[in-house]
Amino acid sequence: MGNAAQFTEFSTLFQQVVNGLSLGSVYALIAVGYSLVYSILSFSNFAHGGFLVVGGYICYGLFTGFELNVFSRHLLTVPAGSVWLAGLGALGGAGIVAVLTERLAYKPIRERTSMTLYLLIASMGVSIIIENIFVIAVGGRFRALPQSMFPSGLYNLGWGVTASSSDVLSLTCAVLFLGGLQFFLTQTRWGLAIRAAACDLRTAGLMGVNVSLLIAIVFFAAGLLAAVGGVFLSYRYTLYPQMGGITTKAFVAAVIGGLGSLPGAIVGSLILGLAEMLTTGYVSSQMRDLVVYSLLVLMLLVKPAGFFGKPVSDKI
Amino acid sequence: MSALLEVRDFHVSYGAIKALQGFSLSLEEREIVSVIGSNGAGKSTFMNAVMGMVARDRGEAFLDGRKLPARSFQVVRSGLSLAPEGRKIFAPLTVLENLQIGAFSRAKQSGARADMEWVFYLFPRLKERVRQLAGTLSGGEQQMLAIGRALMARPRVLLLDEPSLGLAPIVIRDIFNELRRVNEEGVSILLVEQNARQALLLSHRTYVLQTGRLLKEGPSKTLLTDPEIKSAYLGKGQAP
């Protein structure tokens, strides 16, 4: 009897850990891009959530053959059902939207002032604009990516613990994309330039780095990673124009890990995912946001720079 | 035009404040030219204007008779590179990575390896610390790294903004001796310095800048004994 109870106890814990890692990996994809932009331009890009919405809708549109609304059905007929086309379109499209956002909204401000507060306010505006473009164009209703998009099924991990194939897929994709980013940043010439720019953007320009192009590359990467997160969120939960709101969680994760630090964003995201799922499993799902934001406040009180962040005085 | 670098009539202002009011300068191949002046004379503004880091109201610069482009990454590509004021090394990157980023602008990365050996030959201390984070270096070593990083671009003219800043006198002497070696290797140098004595001792010719305008120019040897320069910039009875 005692053994059986212990067994159930353990499998609940393990199940929630698996769920937490899966959720955390999606947060990580969002938080890393957000943190990357922060590390270069030192402002919180609140339009980041918009990029995952763009990714989600492009994926939905391409996969279902643009059944988003009446007009586009007549304009474009794309062979529906190609996961690869839908996925690549979503990543590329969101990357391009991110670059355009920077060029149209942030660059003109950057060239006039060094106060990052204006960029922050502009990003809030862009976030609302993106949201409303989708409300007008495709309507505000909730959608979900067809379940046929990804292979379904459950993996039995033993001891009664299961992982859905979408969990496994999102974890795998997160590892692949974050690993790819890490490779890019550490092994390529532009990656080195980005790391130098994160330290001092002006001096990076003195090294012969085209700073405008570098910023565009950073935004493209951030948009692309956000879209990966957006696709998985719209597959597992729902797709709607305000879906970008989940980015708040990624912000929290980035702050816990240390703003501007990429390993910090990943660690923070996993902590957050685990905290949410363990709260759901052991307390109640209504408490999860309370726990998440309490963690944020606690972190700001105890270690304001986060786990991997630079001390605040160094950021000036 | 025979000069390697020719700067003509630079005007730069920050709002209502005029930082440079018509400053011109020329530098010959293999020459060391220094610009001295007190704090706020416009020395750093001049360097930043040459590098395209600040916009100028008027004036042009030519390298080898060709007009210098406006944006700084293009200026670096065309053959100037700056070791900026305050060194500005990338502290969280390693010494090696700092040198690699210095070679970013070069079309062919293959030459960078040979140049790194050349930088290590000039600054052996950097080779010993190649895997170390740049932020852990001493002030003098950081200055060497800033100079080495600028040399990795294989510039026609090496620009140095206040290389003596914040360093102990003995370290300053080391750095200036190394700069002489760099020049003997064939690199032309444009130096901006508040430490007038060291600048005059190192350079062939010197321009004296005062509140954005040229006060005097001439061979450094002559200026070293000029009574006006002596009283205003060199102080009295100082050992060299």
The count of domains in chain B is 1
Domain count, chain A: 1
Q: How far is CA B133 from CA A149, A192, A306, B166, in A?
A: 47, 14, 22, 20
A75, pLDDT greater than 60: no
Q: Which residues pair with B83 in a beta bridge?
A: B160
pLDDT of residue A209: 96
Task: Kindly state whether B195 is in contact with chain A, defined as any CB-CB distance less than 8 angstroms.
Answer: no
Residue A221 has pLDDT above 70, yes or no: yes
pLDDT above 70 for B169: yes
Contact between chains at B73 and A208 (C-beta distance less than 8 A): yes
Return the pLDDT at A91.
Answer: 95
Nearest CA-CA partner of A169 in A158, A188, A181, A155:
A155
**Is the pLDDT score of B239 beyond 50?**
no
Q: Contact B126/B147 with Cβ under 8 angstroms?
A: no
Identify which of A196, A202, A208 has the shortest CB distance to residue B105.
A208
> Once rounded to an integer, what is the mean pLDDT over residues B235-239?
53
Whether B149 and chain A come into contact, CB under 8 Å, resolves to yes
- Distance between CA atoms of A163 and B123, rounded to whole angstroms? 57
CATH code for position B44: 3.40.50.300
B148 found inside a domain: no
Confidence grade of residue A66 (pLDDT, cut at 50, 70, 90): low
- Contact B91/A203, CB-based, under 8 Å? no
Spatial separation of the C-alpha atoms in residues A108 and A215, rounded to whole Å: 13
Identify all chain B residues contacting A315, using CB atoms and an 8 Å cutoff.
Answer: none
Q: Which of A19, A7, A15, A27 is nearest to A233 (CA)?
A: A27
Range of the domain at A185: 21-146+168-244
Q: What is the mean pLDDT of the segment spanning B78-90?
A: 96
Expressed as residue numbers, the domain containing B183 is: 5-87+154-234
Answer whether residue A73 shows pLDDT above 70.
no
Hey, are the CB atoms on A189 and B72 less than 8 Å from each other?
no
CB contact under 8 A, A192 and B100: yes
pLDDT of A25 > 50? The answer is yes
Residue B31 lies in a domain: yes
- Measure Cα distances from A186 to A104, A190, A193, B93, B97 in Å: 30, 9, 10, 11, 10
